[in-house]
Amino acid sequence: MARSAAETKERMVTVSIMGKPYDVPADATIMGAIEYAGHQIIRGAGCREGYCGACATIYRLPGDYKIYGGLACMTMVEDGMTLAQVPSVPAEKAIYDIEKLKPNVSAIEQHYPSVFRCVACGTCTRSCPQGLQVMDYVQAAKRGDIAEVMDLSFDCVVCGLCMLRCPAEIVQPLVGILAKRLYGRYLRKDSPELAERVKAVEEGAFNAEYAKLISMNRDSLSKLYYARDSE
């Protein structure tokens, strides 16, 4: 049965997108609301499921002076929300030769000395849409505990929201990337299973499976992807 105009209106909320108000569905994500309002997202959208970090968004809520951050594909709209997308957060990436670094605090001191300005305010952790303990891995970086930095930053999607809010101007995701590279080069344990799998790939054990995937259309690939076993 068709909804009445009043019922339809009750399901809508008003949000301000890039400075202009729009009525959008109350159950929409920020990304869904932006597209419902007629905007085409050219930058600031990737996986659409919280894995790529491309859709960082900042917003304010009515009567609240605080600026909040989140991923547009995961954050739900609220009535009176004012938002703007941040498709790329500028940060200076250190250039280094991993073969000339040591997996200790010296690498951090040389390439990301801003880490040592951290005052442990916790703003970065509160800003993380993935719920990562960002401040803890920054503290680990100050100690030169590369393995701990790698472990705590492993699921970072480099959305940059922690960098936007950090009063010490630390580039936390880039520190995490350095630690992961150092760990992979110097500290990881050898994996016989990985070596066997790489050998199997090189010998063409999966060529038939690759060919099958390449021949599938988008709908079939999508069904296969969502039917897979995953945590």
pLDDT digits (tens, 9 = 90+) for 161-207: 999 999 999 999 999 999 999 999 999 988 899 999 999 999 999 99
Range of the domain at 78: 9-85
How far apart CA 68 and CA 76 sit, in angstroms, is 13
Angle formed by the axes of helices 172-182 and 134-143, to 10°? 60
Q: With 70 as the cut, is the pLDDT of residue 2 above it?
A: no
Of 178 and 226, more confident: 178
Q: Which residue has the tokens 């801003």?
A: 114
> Both 14 and 69 in a single domain?
yes
**pLDDT exceeds 90 at position 153:** yes
Report if residue 169 sits inside a domain: yes
Distance, in Å, from the CA atom of 56 to the CA atom of 58, rounded to the nearest integer, reads: 7
Integer Cα distance of 156 and 134 in angstroms: 9
**pLDDT value at position 1?**
46
Strand partners for 58:
69, 84
Residue that is last in its domain, among 150, 169, 187: 187
Q: 1 in a domain, yes or no?
A: no
- Same-domain status, 138 and 179: yes
Tell me what pLDDT residue 17 has: 95
- Residue 13: both structure tokens together: 């909320």
pLDDT at 7 over 60: no
Band (144; pLDDT cuts 50, 70, 90): very high
Whether the full predicted model's pTM is greater than 0.85, yes or no, is: no
Residue 25 within a domain: yes
Q: Is residue 219 part of a domain?
A: no
In a domain, 148, yes or no: yes
pLDDT at 147 over 70: yes
Distance CA(187)–CA(152), nearest Å, equals 15
Statement to judge: residues 17 and 51 lie in one domain: yes
